[in-house]
A and B are shown apart, each in its own frame.
Chain A
């Protein structure tokens, strides 16, 4: 069992150890859907939702099933995540077809989003309990959303500015991400 306070878990997951900018988890959507602020925000919210569900599922698996068969951890986590993403996909498609179209391939790709599996594995390694797990998931999700929205706002302005031909594309995005990551380093040592 881990005895960190909920606040420190939340704050650490959101800014100090931001999933995207400090731990490089969930980079595919970070590069892929960060061109528009609105899409980025929605992607972030969908992420929070899946992260919380995953945290619940991982807690359940850890407490009731995996004690007997620890070597099945990776396999069972990925199966549960794949089915969760499938369910979320169906729900989003039913409730908001417009959002479904906007997120496109990145919604099913959430199965292979390192942030989701990473959350389950970190939660297990650190021995978080039920509430701690959920706090961790919400914090991590908000952190992802924050990084996505920041990146999208910067990219929207970059689009209007005169960038040298060489720098158009992923290279520039990565350097902006590097700068953002440097800014987030300022939070280190806060906890």
Chain B
């Protein structure tokens, strides 16, 4: 078992091991539904619900799940909660449900969720698995809202439907189209790579100065 404190379990997923931006998991929803902030939020909420519930259930039942069929068992658990989330969205937020369409059902195949079950919930107790799931869920939400924010802001000049740049703004239509999704994530990753490199250069410089 790894030696991490519960608070580390919680924080890890949010930034240092952010599922979308660092681990490149769950890219399909991150790119497909982030053409507006509202869609990104609805998708994050549904994913958050699914990952928390499945982590708790998987870690609670880990003793009864045979090792040979564990992946199938995890997928079944996830699929059950996705069906629930699908029905709840349909009942309480029909507009978002229609907008997201098939992508709600596709939460089943979000590798991020299955990855957390296999890597964490299967080996840790319920409390820590829940913390880990919440952290990962928040990390996913941050990435999605960040992308949704960029794309909606540039693509339509508004944020959550409220106009930001005024009527004279010429929208960059490409940003809300599929190509914009790839470009936005690409540029976010390039920026992160740049800062990472600068940080590394700085630490190398201080190390040289102190020696």
Contact = CB atoms under 8 A, between A and B. Distances in A.
Interface of A: 21-28, 31, 71-75, 78-79, 82, 109, 111-114, 116-118, 121-122, 125, 165-175, 177-179, 181-182, 185
Contact of A166 (B31, B102, B181, B194): B194
Contacts of B82: 74
A75 B83 contact: yes
B93 interface: no
Given A74-B82, A113-B109, A27 B179 contact: no
Interface of B: 24, 27-28, 31-32, 71-72, 75-76, 79-80, 82-83, 86-87, 101-102, 105-106, 108-111, 114, 174, 177-183, 185-187, 189-190, 192-194, 197
Q: Give the secondary structure class of A's interface.
A: helix
B109 A27 contact: no
A66 to B, nearest CB: 13
A27 B106 contact: no
A181 B193 contact: no
B65 to A, nearest CB: 15
Most buried by B among A28, A125, A179: A28
A181 B184 CA distance: 13
B35 to A, nearest CB: 11
Contacts of A182: 174, 179
A75 B76 contact: yes
Nearest to B185: A174
A59 to B, nearest CB: 17
Nearest to B32: A24
A24 B83 contact: no
Contact of A175 (B31, B32, B182): B182
Contacts of B110: 112
Contacts of A114: 28, 106, 109
Contact of A169 (B101, B178, B187, B193): B193
Nearest to A110: B109
Contacts of B102: 118, 121-122, 125
Nearest to B78: A78
